[in-house]
Homo-oligomer: A and B are copies of this chain.
Amino acid sequence: MSGAPAIVLLSGGLDSATCLAIASESGYDVVALSFRYGQRHLVELTAAAALAERAGVEHVVVDVDLSAFGGSALTTEVPVPKHDVVADLDADIPVTYVPARNTVFLSLALALAEVRGADDLFIGVNAVDYSGYPDCRPEFIAAFERLANVATRAAVADGRRLRVHTPLIALTKADIIRRGVELGVDYAATITCYDPGTDGSACGHCDACLLRRQGFVDAGVPDPTRYRGGSS
């Protein structure tokens, strides 16, 4: 690759896989960044590595032990809520919210960006299907970008301008899937489920599975997700 370097946060899920494809297609020389943060299912990281390899980009995995803090169903033994239809999803911020997660992840992306001389960060948040997480909103992204431009040697001493790109922010799940299909994203290789099997199969009933499944329906695209035990 010969484009400008960019750091792309890659969880191994549908959104970040699409975000990676968009950054690559825009001509950036992408470094994908994932975290071993105490999540219960490391199968996400396996998916992220496979997606990065398929995209032909470097993949960096950083250890940051959020599980020491507790406070979320994604890092502790609190049960993941299950529902049958999207209409049943909680309107409040769900227990799967990880405190300050995107703040921590973008901060680490900023550190890597500075070391690699990258001015561009990509994160696959979207404000439409954002499950009530405060750190997926445009206000949050704008505040982080302002912070980045006073926090780093890159911006302060070298006069560089750091940007946080959120190409999915205004898209519905169906829009994201349609865009990813155009770009050749292999969604069978992505893991969105909050409670996946060790083989990467999805539960089909957590908030993330319900939103994802509805997205394929709305996009008119066959759902390649492997659901556990053949359940749907």
A108 at the interface (CB under 8 A from B): yes
Tell me the nearest residue of chain B to A104, going by C-beta. Answer: B107
Tell me the nearest residue of chain B to A132, going by C-beta. Answer: B157
Interface residue ranges of A91-135 to B (CB < 8 Å): 92-93, 97-104, 106-108, 110-112, 114-115, 134-135
- Contact: B151 with A100, CB < 8 Å? yes
Whether A140 touches B134, Cβ cut-off 8 Å, given contacts A71-B114, A107-B104, is: no
- Contact: A63 with B66, CB < 8 Å? no
- Contact: A147 with B140, CB < 8 Å? yes
CA–CA, A69 to B58, complex, Å? 13
A181 at the interface (CB under 8 A from B): no
- The quantity of this chain's copies bound in the complex is 2
A65 at the interface (CB under 8 A from B): yes
Rounded to whole Å, the gap between the CB of A60 and the closest CB of chain B is 7
Rounded to whole Å, the gap between the CB of A110 and the closest CB of chain B is 4
| Chain A interface residue count, Cβ-Cβ cutoff 8 angstroms | 46
Rounded to whole Å, the gap between the CB of A159 and the closest CB of chain B is 12
Interface string of A66-79 (1 = CB under 8 A from B): 10111100000000
A85 at the interface (CB under 8 A from B): no
Rounded to whole Å, the gap between the CB of A103 and the closest CB of chain B is 4
- Contact: A134 with B115, CB < 8 Å? no
- Contact: B66 with A65, CB < 8 Å? no
- Contact: B140 with A143, CB < 8 Å? no
Rounded to whole Å, the gap between the CB of A104 and the closest CB of chain B is 4
Tell me the nearest residue of chain B to A133, going by C-beta. Answer: B153
Pull 16 A–B residue pairs with CB atoms less than 8 Å apart, ordered by A: A62-B65, A62-B68, A63-B63, A63-B64, A64-B108, A69-B111, A70-B115, A71-B114, A93-B153, A93-B157, A99-B153, A103-B110, A104-B107, A104-B108, A134-B151, A134-B155
Extra 14 A-B pairs, beta carbons < 8 Å, given A102-B151, A134-B157: A61-B68, A71-B111, A71-B114, A71-B115, A92-B157, A99-B112, A99-B152, A100-B114, A100-B151, A103-B147, A134-B153, A134-B156, A135-B152, A143-B146
